[in-house]
Amino acid sequence: MHKVDVLLGLQWGDEGKGKVVDVLTPYYDVIARFQGGPNAGHTLEFNDIKHILHTIPSGIFHSSKINLIGNGVVIDPVVFKKETDALEKIGVIPEDTLFISKKAHLILPSHKILDAASEAAKGHTRIGSTLKGIGPTYMDKTGRNGLRVGDILHPDFIVKYTFLKNKHLDILKHYDYQDDPGKYEDDWFRGIEKIRACKLVDSEHFINRMINENKKILAEGAQGTLLDVDFGSYPYVTSSNTICAGACSGLGIAPSRIGEVFGIVKAYCTRVGGGPFPTELHDDTGERLRRQGMEFGSTTGRPRRCGWLDLPALKYSIMINGVTQLIITKADVLTGFDTLKICTAYKSEGEILDHLQLDTAQPLEPVYKEMKGWSEDISKIKDCSDLPAEFMAFINYIEEETGVPVTIISLGPDRKATLFPQNT
């Protein structure tokens, strides 16, 4: 029986998960999202077309594959409809291959308003949320007030919707924030009809049946480990477990069923929103990374904060997730830098710290190792043996330091710009 492989981000999100899941989909039967919601923006490129997915798994462009939205995901019907409409325009019909858990929670218009009101009230301590209603929806889930996809099928759905909306309106009275959920309801209920048209399932039974039928399953993470609600840079995190354990609770898979854990890491670091970022660059180098890497949010368009690769943070993420294989993306963006820096430790209060500790009162000052860069255009390379020696030294150093093999190297946004070092 095949085990379930998990692919997840090891930094603050936007590592290139969408691209790599799309590349790996031909090797799997089922692609399953297990947490997060429309705060995610997963970009795929092929045939000179770019697609950004928010809720739908990144296997959707392969028509013979099953895509599953698990119970751990939160769905905004409005975003979901926009996404499916855009796919239908290019001939991809999600209803054919998309299964949705009846236990996945729904984001109401009033959840989004609460998100905005809460962020506005926080002032300069705001998280920098994508304002997609993620926090309030997960709060209602754990508070046992939430509305789930399965509720759509019940005759009292509208009653439940109205009850929850009114609860939110009561909470909103405590905020100095004006907006009316009624304005968004037509679109929201149209989105509900779109969800109803998909295959709504008891996904824990569904996925375990797939496992027993020896199907190959890839669980697709959203966000990244350093945004995990428990292990990330709290409170500057998202509201779900983005780590490997989240795949178990977000799909109903036993831990013993997990196989390979693919950890995706960008060759440098980025972050959108607030919170600590030890290697952040506020200078021309940071600006150059942003420009060369086109580091602007896929969901909000915000400029991403940029900095050098952070090894203690990477080792932390590898430890928490039990990563078995590393996938390095966007190394092509580093082309042309004479010197590359990698953070190997931090200085904090006069001491050297060799492990990540984001909750210290003092900011962490990175200690860097410098490596020689390369100047060749590597984005068209098809064979690992053609990669410059400096590039390989960079990859080998990461492997030596982490003890985890790099099995995939991504050198561009397109499907085709992908190398598998162990196959060459």
Which x/- pattern, by CB under 5 A, does the window 264-303 give for Mg ion?
----------------------------------x-----
Q: Using the structure block, give the residue that is written with the tokens 């751990």.
A: 72
| Spatial CA neighbour of 239 closest among 248, 251, 254, 250 | 250
Which x/- pattern, by CB under 5 A, does the window 119-158 give for Mg ion?
----------------------------------------
CA pair distance 76, 134, nearest whole angstrom: 9
The site partner of 366 among ligand IMO, ligand GDP, Mg ion, none (C-beta below 5 to 8 Å per kind) is: none
Q: Which amino acid is at 85?
A: D
CA pair distance 333, 22, nearest whole angstrom: 21
Which stretch in 60-68, 178-186, 198-206, 222-230 sits in contact with ligand IMO by CB under 6 A?
222-230
Q: Residue number with the shortest CB distance to ligand IMO?
A: 273
Which stretch in 61-69, 129-137, 305-313, 316-324 sits in contact with ligand IMO by CB under 6 A?
129-137
Based on the shown chain and the rule CB under 6 A, indicate whether residue 41 belongs to the binding site for ligand GDP.
yes
Contact 371, 339 (CB under 8 A): yes
The only residue of 7, 8, 12, 14 in contact with Mg ion, by rule CB under 5 A = 14
The site partner of 410 among ligand IMO, Mg ion, ligand GDP, none (C-beta below 5 to 8 Å per kind) is: ligand GDP
The only residue of 330, 378, 381, 408 in contact with ligand GDP, by rule CB under 6 A = 330
Q: How far is CA 51 from the centre of its chain?
A: 15
Q: 335: burial class by Cβ within 10 Å (0-12, 13-18, 19+)? A: middle
Phi and psi at 14, nearest 5°, equal 60, 35
Contacts of 253 (CB under 8 A, 6+ apart): 4, 207, 208, 211, 219, 247
Which stretch in 62-70, 86-94, 158-166, 406-414 sits in contact with ligand GDP by CB under 6 A?
406-414
Return the structure tokens found at 350. Answer: 């006069």
Q: For residues 31 and 201, which CB has a smaller minimum distance to ligand GDP in the complex?
A: 31
Based on the shown chain and the rule CB under 6 A, indicate whether residue 111 belongs to the binding site for ligand IMO.
no
The only residue of 6, 74, 114, 127 in contact with ligand IMO, by rule CB under 6 A = 127
CA pair distance 417, 422, nearest whole angstrom: 16
By annotation, the residues acting in catalysis are 14, 42
Subset of residues 227 to 246 that bind ligand IMO, contact rule: CB under 6 A: 227, 238
Based on the shown chain and the rule CB under 6 A, indicate whether residue 317 belongs to the binding site for ligand GDP.
no
| Spatial CA neighbour of 34 closest among 228, 319, 296 | 228
